[in-house]
Amino acid sequence: MRLSTRIISILKNNIHTSFGDVEVYLFGSRVDDNKLGGDIDLAIDTNINNQKFLKNKIKFDCQMIRAGYDLKVDLVKYNHWDDLLNRQIKNDAIKLF
C-alpha cells in the first residue's frame, strides 16, 4: 500500500469529520506497491442517500484543501448495487479504517 501514516491520519480525520464513523477501503493503483503515481481511490461504506453523500464529499474536499493536501482523492459510495465496483473492492481493496 502506497500511503504514508501521515496521509492515512489526515484522510481518516477529514472523512470522519465529513461522514461520521464509517468504514473506508483503499482500492485502485495505490494498493499495489509496484505501481507508480495515481490518485487515491477510496470507497466509503455508508447508507446515506446520494445527495447527502455529495454534500459530505464537498465538505471533505474543502477540508483536504485547507489541510494543504494536493493529491487527487476520489471518494465513491460503496454500495451493494454496483457489481463492477463491488468486484474491484472485493478483489483488491484494503480496509484503511
Q: Give CA–CA dist 81/21, Å, rounded.
A: 22
pLDDT, tens digit, 9 for 90 and up, residues 11-47: 999 999 999 999 999 998 889 878 877 899 999 999 9
Q: Give CA–CA dist 33/10, Å, rounded.
A: 21
Q: Give CA–CA dist 87/8, Å, rounded.
A: 24
74, β-bridge pairs:
41
Going across the sheet that includes 23-27, the strands are: 73-77, 40-45, 23-27, 94-95
- Name the pTM for this structure: 0.88
Domains of the chain and any CATH numbers: 5-95 (3.30.460.10)
Any idea which of 16-20, 53-57, 92-96 has the lowest mean pLDDT?
Answer: 92-96
> What number of CA atoms fall less than 13 Å from residue 43's CA on the CB side?
22
- 53's enclosing H/E stretch is helix 50-66
